[in-house]
Amino acid sequence: MKPSTRRRLFQGVLYAVFAVLILVVIFLADWARIRVYFFNLDVAAQTLPEIVVIAAKNTIIYTVIAFVGGLILGLILALMKLSPVLPYRWLATGYVELFRGLPALLVIFGFAYAVPIAFEWRPPGGSVGAGLIGLIVVSSAYIAETIRAGIEAVPKGQVEAARSLGMKSSWTMVSVVLPQAFRIITPPLTNELVILIKDTSLLFIVGLALGERELTTFARDTLTSQANATPLVVASLLYLVITLPMTQLVAKLERHNKRGR
Amino acid sequence: MTSLSKGSSAVSTTEPAIEVRALCKSFGSNEVLKGIDFHVDQGEVVCVIGPSGSGKSTLLRCVNRLEEPTTGTVMVEGVDITDPETDLDKMRTRIGMVFQQFNLFPHLSVLGNLTLAQQRAKKRGKAEAIEVARRNLAKVGLAEKADAFPSQLSGGQQQRVAIARALSMDPDMMLFDEPTSALDPELVGDVLEVMKQLAREGMTMMVVTHEMGFAREVGDRVVFMDGGVVVEQGKPEDVLGNPQHERTRSFLSKVL
Ligand SMILES: Nc1ncnc2c1ncn2[C@@H]1O[C@H](COP(=O)(O)OP(=O)(O)OP(=O)(O)O)[C@@H](O)[C@H]1O
Ligand SMILES: [Mg+2]
């Protein structure tokens, strides 16, 4: 047998196995029950409009807060990591390693419960606010590494050109390095953002009031009260409705930026 | 600090634009410049030639302190560039630099490339910066490319934009580091033409180059470097036509 024939035969077998598996799942599953428990239009209708105007809205608000906060803090940390001042580098490295090493859930929990006790200080926004600080802390650790990599990917000649024109290092960073760095890291930053959208579901750990619930918490609560999993499906669809346009937008942005590469 | 403005010609005729004394530069244990004495007078065009790795770029980059000299002094218009008290950024606005790889800012339009440092380093207003930029673009023959992005230009056009960018700071002198080495042969001529015009206008220029034709035609003086020292210098027709040192002869026999 020729190698190409053998490869085609092997691929054919793989497809066949795959098709059989799908058929088995389709035939074995109880579709009537699935429709009642997962795709129940009556239950879906009952989640509206709250699941959109409260839960999805909160998910978006929490994501924006955590992402903007993470970007600002991450940028500061990245600049500290690249600073010639040794203690800054140590501090930033320690921070990044610590909060990348811990589970996000634990950090959110820690900020929500331990901080008020330890410092007798209630963060703004109550326990959600405290949880969001935790989320910012975690996302900034990841974003800091991304931004640092982006800054380092800007060719050295760019800095040299700016400095040879008499621009101060701060202006060089702001006007020459960072704009290029952020173009380079647009894909990984989008990734952080999408992860963050999903990580807002971890905020349940701080105990969300009714109006504070985000998509996952809302769906879970409704699932419990209705004894029906349809809210999970609705929530899933809404997550996709949020993430898909965003990744499309970023892809478009990236194509536009190609011009300035 | 002396002669901060361009107008102080009484001082400038007496002191060299660039004066390098006993300059040594090492990268780790690699001694690249081994006691260089070198100068460029006001209005002079000095071409620096020499084999790869002889330290030409390093010498050029020490002049605006992109490279930190290990020992020795570098004076620019009488100001010690290595003195920590010197306002280095201000000095750099007076020293234009053109790189082999152009180093245009890819995220900015041509006009943005030319106005950025004028506004940030020279604190010029936007209108003035744009006016100066357009004047210099016209000078390098690219007036119609103001709104293009660097990636939309040919290498030769990019390098001319880079020259216009440096000129927009109204520098007293220009440093060129192999400005045509990265270009396709058919694009070299346009860039050299712009440089010749600059020389005719009396610009002080230090040009590291492999273009012997340019050195012969435009250079007031040619400096041959090898192994981190200046081996020989003089009028182009002497150094290129009748070299005194064996190392110069062997280098020229390879490149001519
Ligand atoms: N940043 C640096 N770190 C370490 N070594 C360096 C650095 N820059 C230059 N060198 C070394 O210094 C020596 C001289 O380099 P330089 O670039 O000045 O030579 P050059 O005469 O300009 O050569 P070319 O014609 O190839 O451009 C080389 O051996 C090079 O490896
Ligand atoms: Mg060189």
pLDDT, tens only, B117-157: 999 999 999 999 999 999 999 999 999 999 999 999 999 99
Q: How far away is chain B from the Cα of A157, in angstroms, using its nearest Cα?
A: 6
For A213, residues 6+ apart whose C-beta sits below 8 A from its C-beta are A54, A55, A58, A204, A221
Any bridge partners for residue B49, and if so which? B224
Token match 């326990």: residue?
A: A127
The residue type of B49 is I
Domain parsing of chain A, residue ranges: 56-214
Output phi, psi for B155, to 5 deg. -55, -45
Query: What residues of B are in contact with residue A158 (Cβ under 8 Å)?
Result: 103, 105
SS3 B31: strand
> What distances in angstroms separate CA B173 from CA B60, B64, B245, one per listed residue?
12, 11, 30
The per-residue pLDDT for B20 is: 96
What value, to the nearest 5°, has the Cα angle with vertex A131 and ends A127 and A136? Answer: 145
Percent of chain B surpassing pLDDT 90: 93
Ligand 1 pocket test, pick from B34, B58, B66 with the greatest ligand atom count within 8 Å of Cβ, gives B58
Do residues B164 and B133 touch, judged by C-beta distance below 8 A?
Answer: yes
CA distance B19 to A182: 41
CA distance B220 to B241: 14
CA distance A212 to A125: 10
For B200, residues 6+ apart whose C-beta sits below 8 A from its C-beta are none
Token match 């396709």: residue?
A: B184
Starting from the edge strand earliest in sequence, which strands make up the sheet with B18-27, in order? Answer: B30-40, B18-27, B71-76, B79-80
CA distance B179 to B188: 9
Token match 């209708």: residue?
A: A45
Contact B93 A163 (CB under 8 A): no
The ligand 1 atom at the shortest distance from the C-alpha of residue B50 is 21
B105 has a pLDDT exceeding 90: yes
Give the closest of A157, A161, A165 to B93, CB-based. Answer: A165
Topology of the domain covering A56-214: MetI-like fold (1.10.3720)
Radius of gyration of chain B measured on its C-alpha atoms: 18
Give the closest of B106, B117, B151 to A165, CB-based. Answer: B117
pTM exceeds cut of 0.80: yes
A210-242 pLDDT, tens digit per residue, is: 888 999 998 899 888 888 888 999 999 999 999
Interface contact B90, partner A, CB < 8 A: yes
The residue type of B145 is K
CA distance A138 to B75: 51
In the numeric block, which tokens belong to residue B125?
């207003």
The neighbourhood of ligand 2, an ion, using CB within 5 A, equals B 57
How are beta strands B229-234 and B79-80 bridged, if at all?
Answer: unpaired
Give the closest of A160, A163, A180 to B106, CB-based. Answer: A180
ipTM for the predicted complex? 0.91
Q: How far away is chain B from the Cα of A201, in angstroms, using its nearest Cα?
A: 37
A107-142 pLDDT, tens digit per residue, is: 999 888 887 787 777 777 778 888 999 999 999 999
Percent of chain A surpassing pLDDT 90: 59
CA distance A60 to A215: 10
Domain parsing of chain B, residue ranges: 103-171
In the numeric block, which tokens belong to residue A65?
């807060």
CA distance A171 to A191: 29
| Reported confidence tier of residue A176, pLDDT bands at 50, 70, 90 | very high
Q: Any idea what DSSP says for residue A123?
A: P
In the numeric block, which tokens belong to residue B88?
């280095």
Do residues B164 and B136 touch, judged by C-beta distance below 8 A?
Answer: yes
Starting from the edge strand earliest in sequence, which strands make up the sheet with B45-49, in order? Answer: B95-98, B173-177, B204-208, B45-49, B221-226, B229-234
